[in-house]
Protein backbone atom coordinates (compact mmCIF):
# COMPACT_ATOMS: atom_id res chain seq x y z
CA UNK A 1 0.00 0.00 0.00
CA UNK A 2 1.29 3.45 -0.91
CA UNK A 3 2.39 5.69 1.94
CA UNK A 4 0.53 8.95 2.47
CA UNK A 5 1.45 12.47 3.53
CA UNK A 6 -0.40 11.87 6.83
CA UNK A 7 2.37 9.42 7.76
CA UNK A 8 5.15 11.89 7.04
CA UNK A 9 3.79 15.40 7.60
CA UNK A 10 4.77 17.70 10.43
CA UNK A 11 1.76 17.67 12.71
CA UNK A 12 0.67 20.80 14.55
CA UNK A 13 2.82 23.16 12.48
CA UNK A 14 3.50 26.64 13.80
CA UNK A 15 0.84 29.17 12.85
CA UNK A 16 0.33 32.92 12.93
CA UNK A 17 -2.63 35.18 12.34
CA UNK A 18 -2.53 37.54 9.40
CA UNK A 19 -2.51 40.62 11.66
CA UNK A 20 0.60 39.51 13.57
CA UNK A 21 3.92 41.18 12.67
CA UNK A 22 6.37 39.37 10.41
CA UNK A 23 8.83 39.54 13.31
CA UNK A 24 6.61 37.00 15.12
CA UNK A 25 6.63 34.70 12.10
CA UNK A 26 10.43 34.98 11.90
CA UNK A 27 10.75 34.24 15.63
CA UNK A 28 8.62 31.11 15.21
CA UNK A 29 10.74 30.01 12.24
CA UNK A 30 13.85 30.27 14.38
CA UNK A 31 12.21 28.51 17.34
CA UNK A 32 10.80 25.66 15.26
CA UNK A 33 13.76 25.41 12.85
CA UNK A 34 11.50 25.78 9.83
CA UNK A 35 11.32 27.98 6.76
CA UNK A 36 7.56 28.39 6.68
CA UNK A 37 4.67 29.26 8.96
CA UNK A 38 1.02 28.65 8.17
CA UNK A 39 -1.28 31.68 8.29
CA UNK A 40 -4.60 30.68 9.83
CA UNK A 41 -7.90 32.17 10.86
CA UNK A 42 -10.15 30.09 13.13
CA UNK A 43 -8.06 26.99 12.33
CA UNK A 44 -8.54 27.44 8.60
CA UNK A 45 -5.52 27.87 6.38
CA UNK A 46 -5.62 31.23 4.60
CA UNK A 47 -1.98 31.56 3.54
CA UNK A 48 1.63 30.66 4.15
CA UNK A 49 4.63 32.83 4.90
CA UNK A 50 8.15 31.67 4.16
CA UNK A 51 11.58 32.90 5.08
CA UNK A 52 11.92 33.98 1.44
CA UNK A 53 8.68 36.00 1.66
CA UNK A 54 10.11 37.88 4.63
CA UNK A 55 13.46 38.44 2.93
CA UNK A 56 11.99 39.65 -0.36
CA UNK A 57 8.73 41.37 0.62
CA UNK A 58 9.88 42.92 3.89
CA UNK A 59 13.67 43.14 4.34
CA UNK A 60 14.60 43.87 0.70
CA UNK A 61 11.70 46.32 0.45
CA UNK A 62 13.02 48.07 3.59
CA UNK A 63 9.73 47.58 5.43
CA UNK A 64 9.65 47.35 9.24
CA UNK A 65 9.53 44.08 11.20
CA UNK A 66 6.11 45.23 12.42
CA UNK A 67 4.69 44.74 8.90
CA UNK A 68 1.59 42.52 9.20
CA UNK A 69 1.97 38.95 8.01
CA UNK A 70 -0.92 39.51 5.54
CA UNK A 71 1.32 41.93 3.59
CA UNK A 72 4.12 39.40 3.11
CA UNK A 73 2.39 35.99 2.99
CA UNK A 74 1.21 34.12 -0.07
CA UNK A 75 -2.58 33.89 -0.11
CA UNK A 76 -3.59 33.31 -3.70
CA UNK A 77 -3.19 30.04 -5.55
CA UNK A 78 -2.33 28.23 -2.31
CA UNK A 79 -1.47 24.63 -3.17
CA UNK A 80 -2.63 22.06 -0.61
CA UNK A 81 -3.10 18.31 -0.34
CA UNK A 82 -5.29 16.08 1.82
CA UNK A 83 -3.94 13.62 4.42
CA UNK A 84 -4.61 10.59 2.20
CA UNK A 85 -2.55 11.97 -0.71
CA UNK A 86 0.20 9.52 -1.63
CA UNK A 87 3.82 10.59 -1.28
CA UNK A 88 4.31 10.09 -5.02
CA UNK A 89 1.35 12.36 -5.77
CA UNK A 90 2.63 14.99 -3.30
CA UNK A 91 6.02 14.95 -5.04
CA UNK A 92 4.28 15.37 -8.41
CA UNK A 93 2.24 18.31 -7.12
CA UNK A 94 5.40 19.97 -5.79
CA UNK A 95 7.11 19.52 -9.14
CA UNK A 96 4.08 20.70 -11.17
CA UNK A 97 3.44 23.77 -9.01
CA UNK A 98 7.10 24.55 -8.20
CA UNK A 99 6.55 24.56 -4.44
CA UNK A 100 8.73 23.17 -1.65
CA UNK A 101 6.06 22.87 1.03
CA UNK A 102 2.51 21.56 0.96
CA UNK A 103 0.01 22.36 3.69
CA UNK A 104 -2.12 19.31 4.48
CA UNK A 105 -5.77 20.30 4.84
CA UNK A 106 -8.83 18.26 5.77
CA UNK A 107 -12.35 19.72 5.85
CA UNK A 108 -10.81 23.18 5.54
CA UNK A 109 -8.69 22.68 8.67
CA UNK A 110 -4.89 22.67 8.68
CA UNK A 111 -3.64 19.22 9.74
CA UNK A 112 0.06 19.49 8.94
CA UNK A 113 2.74 20.41 6.42
CA UNK A 114 4.91 18.16 4.27
CA UNK A 115 8.10 19.53 2.75
CA UNK A 116 10.32 18.64 -0.15
CA UNK A 117 12.97 17.73 2.42
CA UNK A 118 10.57 15.32 4.14
CA UNK A 119 9.95 13.57 0.83
CA UNK A 120 13.66 13.50 -0.03
CA UNK A 121 14.54 11.82 3.26
CA UNK A 122 11.73 9.29 2.81
CA UNK A 123 12.40 8.49 -0.85
CA UNK A 124 16.21 8.37 -0.82
CA UNK A 125 17.85 8.83 2.56
CA UNK A 126 21.28 8.72 0.88
CA UNK A 127 20.63 11.65 -1.48
CA UNK A 128 22.32 15.00 -1.16
CA UNK A 129 18.96 16.72 -0.57
CA UNK A 130 18.15 14.26 2.22
CA UNK A 131 21.54 15.00 3.83
CA UNK A 132 20.90 18.74 3.70
CA UNK A 133 17.29 18.38 4.88
CA UNK A 134 18.25 16.19 7.81
CA UNK A 135 21.11 18.43 8.99
CA UNK A 136 20.70 20.57 12.09
CA UNK A 137 21.65 24.26 11.84
CA UNK A 138 24.61 25.74 13.63
CA UNK A 139 22.38 28.02 15.69
Residue 139: inside a domain:
no
- Residue 124's pLDDT band (cuts 50, 70, 90): low
> 123 is in which domain, residue-wise?
5-134
The CATH number of the domain holding residue 121 is 3.10.580.10
- Residue 40's pLDDT band (cuts 50, 70, 90): very high
Number of domains in the chain: 1
Q: Closest Cα to residue 102, out of 125, 81, 124?
A: 81
Measured distance CA(73)–CA(117) in Å, rounded = 21
Number of other CB atoms surrounding residue 35 within 10 Å: 16
Residue 117: inside a domain:
yes
- Mind listing the pLDDT tens digit for each residue in 76-117? 889 999 999 999 999 999 999 999 899 999 998 999 999 988
Measured distance CA(39)–CA(36) in Å, rounded = 10
- Residue 134's pLDDT band (cuts 50, 70, 90): very low
In order of 88, 91, 125, the CA distances from 132 in angstroms are 21, 18, 10
Amino acid sequence: MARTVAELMTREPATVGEEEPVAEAARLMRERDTGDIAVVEDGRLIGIITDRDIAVRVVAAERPASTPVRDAASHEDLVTVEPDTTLDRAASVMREKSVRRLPVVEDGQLRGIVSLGDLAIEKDSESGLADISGARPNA
